[in-house]
Amino acid sequence: MTKLNTFMLMAAIALGGTAAAGPEAMQNLQKPQAGVPADFSFGGENGCEFMLNGKAFQIRSGEIHPQRVPRQHWQHRIRAAKAMGLNTIAFYVFWNQLEQKDGSWDFSGMNDIAAFIDLCQQEGMWVLFRPGPYVCGEWDMGGLPSYLLKDGPAELRNTRNPRFMEAQTRYLDKMAEIAIPRLAKNGGPILMVQLENEYGSYRSPHDEIAYIEWLRDYWKGKGAERFYLSEGSSPMHLRFVVPDVAVGLDPADRESDTRHARKVVKNAPVFSSETYPGWLRHWGEGNWLPSRGTLNSVRWYMQSGFSFNLFVLHGGTSFGLTAGSNSDHNTGANFMPDLTSYDYGSPIGEHGNLTKEYFEYRDIILNALPAEAAVPEPPATPETMTLPVFTPELVCPFFQLRKTDAGQSELPRTLESAGQNQGIAVYTTTVPAGDAARLNITARDYAQVYLGADHIGDIDRCTNSTGIDLPARKAPQALTVVLDTFGHVNFSNFIEKDDKGIIGPVKLGDTELKGWDMKLLPLDAGEPQPGMPDRMWTPNLKGGLFRAEIELDKVADTFLNMEKWPKGYVWVNGHLLGRYWNIGPQFRLYCPAEFLKQGRNTITILDTMTSDPAPIRGEPERNMEVNKVTESLNNQW
């Protein structure tokens, strides 16, 4: 042991904690071998060390979400992790991407979780399996399905809600079918299963330790043996710790972060389950800046043998409507929708580019590993390409888009109650003649308000706006609200209340408006299509559907530059890339090569604010300029 390592371990003990496993844990270089059982356990003094086949073992993990990464790039990302000196891949599973509206399950493409686990094993990497059912991850509703809000606010993540428990058990049964044969004891790469996620941060009036115990007992009944919780490091966060379950702290950047956890965790290790090399970003914030202090955290891990997981090593992309949002925990105010990109300031960028920080982390890790670790060289970054400028043509204005009639109701309905997750809804009612008055309305999340043929203004939840002034009316007029959504809140107990659409009663002054017509425009079931205009619709409604056909001689990853377009959605050959919004910081949407094809390609755009097309260019990388500095919060909200 070097003098520096000795000093670090003595300092750790002086701080009042139990020293980590020590550098000897980094000497255990065993890799998973298909069909060969491995004994992963908790051992050492008071069971505080990870053990692999009887020897101390350091988990050096990087988080990669296969459901955010094009399948053809899975191997590249895993190999980049391995080349950084890591030995484990951690990943969330997003339930609401797997269970379909009709009750079927989709495990194809990026949803093929079993294939991803098998590929990790093939590449010599262990796995930390994080199935939730709630995962956060800046993902729509934290991975929970929005049908849980069909009847309005609901108590989730507890054993007293039979509807939730029935749905959760149905999902976990699918996860067990995948995970149990792939546990290390059964010859697979999975070392541990995470029970839920950051439950101590939920802070609902119905949280309970019985829920965590139920999850532990469920997995034990299926045959799993080793579990962990991911939590913050304070007493509040750790109030749901159960015996014989390891605890990952989000984060543990130094020994002092573990002090309280080591007092409450019995017969199990403590490690850093989420160490942040960057931080999430919302629309309207600045671009990503790597968290340089995390380099020092990794130095400590490699000096002490402390186990860790970099969240995220590679973020990827929240394709489609999967990006989530943040808000005030109790009221839903201060709404902050997440970007389509999940770059996160990670060491491995959105299209697999290896950053300066990647090589700095690699140097720190490799300098601490024995020579026999034989860490491979990093893989080459996947090819990207530039697309010549093209300008889509207007297919039809917004008011002519084909929509589904959801019927009439006395009060406006939520999208969930109508069976739609996110997307667009158009609400129409009649307002009486009268003087100018304030329209008080709770719109989630962005509403364009029209009185007759005139656009009165917009209501943006991001600015906490809850109303708009309507002018005087000499006769009754149609009031039309075009409602566009962002992803459901993904963190805190407001998840239970974040249904979409017009929420609750709408008042014009003191008069409650009733008799609402609702039309739906779901965006996750395919591209919008032209239709016939409804008689109540006027050509003054903003927005339109656009399309372009481009010919490609070859395909590679690219980024569609949408900077000249106001706000909307992009499909490439039927694949919904996600949202764009010209408030930034993201202007370019990642389009992986597997969404493209040689020959003719169709680009479809639904812009909710303009009917005037603008040029688009395919760029070789995502825009990363920093016009506004936004702090990387390191999970300290």
* 13-27 residue pLDDT tens: 333 334 456 789 999
**560 bridge partner residues:** 589, 618
Residue 348: what are its φ and ψ, rounded to 5°?
A: -110, 115
Answer yes or no: are the C-beta atoms of 499 and 149 closer than 8 Å.
yes
**Type of residue numbered 376:** P
Structure tokens at 454: 């005139």
- Per the CB < 8 A criterion, the answer to whether 448 and 608 are in contact is yes
- Token pair belonging to 572: 């490439």
- Cβ 560 vs Cβ 600: under 8 Å: no
In a domain, 531, yes or no: no
Query: Looking at the structure, do residues 294 and 201 belong to the same domain, yes or no?
Result: yes
Per-residue confidence at 330, pLDDT binned at 50, 70, 90? confident
What is the CA 161 to chain-centroid distance, rounded? 25
pLDDT at 18: 44
636's CB contacts (< 8 A; 6+ apart) are none
**Cα angle value 230/234/237 (rounded, 5°):** 45
- How far, in Å, are 94, 133, 145, 174 from residue 171 at the CA level? 10, 8, 10, 5
Where residue 511 sits, what CATH number does that domain have?
2.60.120.260
**72 and 50 in a common domain:** yes
Residue 7 has what pLDDT? 38
275 and 223 part of one domain: yes
Residue 625 is assigned to a structural domain of this protein: no
Claim to verify: residue 46 and residue 166 sit in the same structural domain: yes
Are residues 595 and 481 part of one domain? no
My answer on whether 495 and 603 are in the same domain is: no
Q: Are residues 211 and 186 in the same domain?
A: yes
Please report the pLDDT score of residue 45 as a whole number.
87
Counting the structural domains of the chain, the total is 3
Q: Which residue has the higher pLDDT, 629 or 593?
A: 593
Q: Residue 382: inside a domain, yes or no?
A: no
For the segment 468-484, what is each residue's pLDDT rounded down to a tens digit?
999 999 999 999 999 99
> Which amino acid, residue 553?
D
| pTM, 2 dp | 0.95
Q: Mean pLDDT in the chain? A: 94
Q: By percentage, how much of the chain surpasses pLDDT 90?
A: 90
**Percentage of the chain surpassing pLDDT 70?**
95
560 with 507, same domain? no
Cβ-in-10-Å burial (0-12, 13-18, 19+) of 351 comes to: buried
The kind and range of the H/E element at 581 are strand 575-581
Distance, CA of 375 to CA of 251 (rounded, Å): 26
| pLDDT score, position 536 | 54
* pLDDT tens, residue by residue, 332-374: 999 999 999 999 999 999 999 999 999 999 999 999 999 999 9
| 420 and 364 within one domain | no
The pLDDT confidence band at residue 635, using thresholds 50, 70 and 90, is: confident
**Does a structural domain hold residue 632?**
no
What is each CA distance from 164 to 132, 211, 340, 418, 595, in whole angstroms?
13, 12, 28, 19, 35
Residue 263 in any domain: the answer is: yes
For the residues of 185-232, what is the DSSP string, one character each? Answer: GGTSSEEEEE-SS-GGGT--TT--HHHHHHHHHHHHHHT---EEEEE-
Contact 73, 352 (CB under 8 A): yes
Mean pLDDT, residues 423-438 taken together: 97
Q: Hey, what are 72's tokens? A: 């053809």
Same domain, 253 and 319: yes
Does residue 11 have a pLDDT over 90? no
- DSSP string for 467-481: EEEEPPBSS-EEEEE
Strand 567-572 and strand 575-581: the pairing is antiparallel
Domain assignment present for residue 380? The answer is no
Structural domain includes residue 153: yes
Helix%, strand%, coil% for the chain, nearest 5? 25, 30, 45
C-alpha separations of 91 from 29, 37, 62, 196, 418 in Å: 21, 22, 8, 13, 32
The reply to whether 447 and 350 lie within a common domain is no
Which long-range contacts link 293-301 to residues 24+ away (Cβ below 8 Å)? 293/253, 293/634, 294/253, 295/357, 295/360, 295/361, 295/364, 296/253, 297/251, 297/253, 297/254, 297/272, 298/361, 298/364, 298/365, 299/364, 300/8, 300/253, 300/254, 300/255, 301/58, 301/60, 301/272, 301/275
Averaged pLDDT, 248-254: 95
Between the two ends of the chain, the Cα-to-Cα distance in Å is: 38
Six token digits for residue 407: 């019927």
Confirm whether 194 is domain-assigned: yes
Domain boundary among 487, 521, 555: 521
Distance from C-alpha of 66 to C-alpha of 73, rounded to nearest angstrom: 9
One domain, residues 479 and 613: no
Question: Domain residues for 21?
Answer: 3-373
pLDDT band of residue 541 (cuts 50, 70, 90) is confident
